[in-house]
Amino acid sequence: MANKKKTTKRKKARSAAQKRNDRKLGRMAKARAAGKKIKSKVKRKTNKVTKRRRSMPRKGLKGITSSSTLKKVALGVGGATMAAALLSFVAPNSNLGRFAPAAGAYVLGGLEGVIGNFALGMIGNRSTSNANVAPQMEVL
């Protein structure tokens, strides 16, 4: 058989801070065994770093995309459009056609969605034509 060399690992030398900590822990263990309480002489270091956030002063309204009310209005308008399109596809001659947009707006946008859809409907239904102008004749 071949001779095997015995390898011994050398222990790494302990630093001064580690030696101090060992002595402190030894004193504490001895005091516990004796029933005494010894205060530690080592000061605790606390890292209390308090950084103040500098907030930029906001002028005017918040960002349009961050407004939750505006998001609900947009969802309500989209829900109303989808509900009206779906009902006109499924049942084109139904009497429920006038209630479908309000129901869709409420489902997706809540009360804000219904109000937004109603307001958009009021603005969108205005026509720029004058009622006093006679319609032109169509050529057949």
Burial of 80 from C-beta contacts in 10 A (0-12 / 13-18 / 19+): buried
Residue 23: is its pLDDT beyond 90? yes
pLDDT tier for residue 57 given thresholds of 50, 70 and 90 = low
CB 116 within 8 A of CB 72: yes
What is the tens place of the pLDDT at every residue in 75-113?
Answer: 999 999 999 999 888 888 888 888 888 999 999 999 989
Going from N- to C-terminal start, the domains of the chain cover: 66-124
Please give, one letter per residue, the 3-state secondary structure of 51-81: CCCCCCCCCCCCCHHHCHHHHHHHHHHHHHH
Write phi, then psi, for 67 (nearest 5 degrees): -80, 120
What is the tens place of the pLDDT at every residue in 26-43?
Answer: 999 988 888 866 566 655
